[in-house]
Structure 1
Amino acid sequence: MKIYTRAGDKGKTQVIGHEVMYKSNKRVVSYGTIDELNSLVGQTRANLSKANKGLDEELEEIQQILFDCGHDLAISSKKEGIPFMITKELGYVAKLEDLIDKYTEPLPKIKKFILPAGSPTAAALQVDRTVTRRAERTIVDLMQGEPVNDEVLRFINRLSDYFFTVARYANLNDNGTETLYRNSKNIFR
């Protein structure tokens, strides 16, 4: 099997449903950003500190779900009948909320913004968070003109909250310090 098709040499690609579009199309940008995020999560997994190796299986599951998110975003809006892979019934958003609650429990309370830093694992998870937010913006941009799977947007929105929380948790495990943003007013209650 050859990995190259030469089909993209003119800047176009085919999405699920056989529609051909430019690689700059909002749909392609949205699932491409999910792919970028998935790669970053893989890099985070590869570099987890010893104290945070327990996060590996959970992060792998997130990578699996991200692939499904990319699938759903890659479905042509002109093609009907292709089922979404991310559904409310799978409970992915609720699972993320449970994990967020679990990791929030041992964390010191904060009232101000913190800088995205800390231990190497925490800093990597903060990068994952910011790329998740960018992915969310690309999905919102896409949905303003074409239909998208709303459950993907909900999952991605919650995933950024998860990465923020788990970054703080990883930093705690690594005995890292959190740096408050010096000009922050009290934001969190």
Structure 2
Amino acid sequence: MGNRLSKIYTRTGDDGSTGLGDGSRVPKDSARVNAYGTVDELNSTIGMVLACVGLDAEVQETLTQVQHELFDLGGELCIPGMAMIEDADIDRLEQVLDRFNEPLPPLKDFILPGGGMAASCCHLARTVCRRAEREVIALGRVESVRPQAQRYLNRLSDLLFVLCRVLARASGHGEVLWQHERRRKPAG
């Protein structure tokens, strides 16, 4: 375990730099900091989903496990060369995704963000997850990143999409479907 913080501010970042987990310092707007910062933001948005009342126990358990894995992923991105996310984590996401998706009807239309508070928060988490994936890809263009990081986020965004559908249906609001016909003008 690393050092415990006894004082929250250190003033070392006042120059626009921050310390990585290996002790090196980088600009706060570096690709690495953007990647693990967005993973942290994603973890926070999943916390918003978990704060919603009436969540199914399996959804709560799944998202809590994801929060722990995202903390691990943030650590992996914060410490160059660290390996925390493994293929088994991605396999588990796929199994959970399949289990939640199996009872859902096939999609025939696009879904708009909505469907109750929990589903809406989950849609927000899904979009932040996609951004985190893009940030990890951008980091991989300039520094070494293990492929598991990108694959984990890609699979997680799929799981979050399925959970959006599950949560919208469970809320009684249902899924909000995109009405593509609304733009068509009647012939006449």
- What is the TM-score of this pair, normalised by structure 1? 0.88
Once the two structures are superposed, what CA deviation does each residue of 1:30-54 show, in whole Å capped at 9, x if it has no partner? 000001111111121112x315344
Q: Which residue pairs with 2:85 in the alignment?
A: 86
Q: Which residue pairs with 2:186 in the alignment?
A: none
Q: Which of 136, 144, 147 is matched with 1:147 structurally?
A: 144
Whether the aligned pair in 2 keeps the contact of 1:73 and 1:149 (CA below 8 Å) is no
Q: Which residue pairs with 2:171 in the alignment?
A: 174
The alignment covers a number of residue pairs equal to 176
Q: Which of 18, 43, 50 is matched with 1:45 structurally?
A: 50
RMSD over aligned CA atoms reads 1.5
Structure 2 residues without counterparts, runs of 5 or longer: 1-5, 182-188
Structure 1 residues without counterparts, runs of 5 or longer: 77-81, 185-189
Say if 2:137 is the partner of 1:110. Answer: no
Q: Which of 5, 9, 19 is matched with 2:10 structurally?
A: 5
- What is the TM-score of this pair, normalised by structure 2? 0.88
4+ aligned runs moved over 6 Å, structure 1:
none
Q: Separation in 2 of the partners of 1:144 and 1:11?
A: 23
- 1:122 partner amino acid: A
Once the two structures are superposed, what CA deviation does each residue of 1:4-39 show, in whole Å capped at 9, x if it has no partner? 111111110011222211100000010000011111
Q: Map 1:44-63; keep pairs closer than 5 Å.
A: 44-47=49-52, 49-63=53-67
Secondary structure class of the residue paired with 2:173: coil
Whether the aligned pair in 1 keeps the contact of 2:115 and 2:169 (CA below 8 Å) is no
Change (3 A) 1:151 1:51: closer
Report the identity percentage.
39
| Deviation (angstroms), 1:71 | 0.8
Which structure has the greater CA radius of gyration?
Answer: 2
Higher mean C-alpha displacement, 14-23 vs 161-170: 14-23
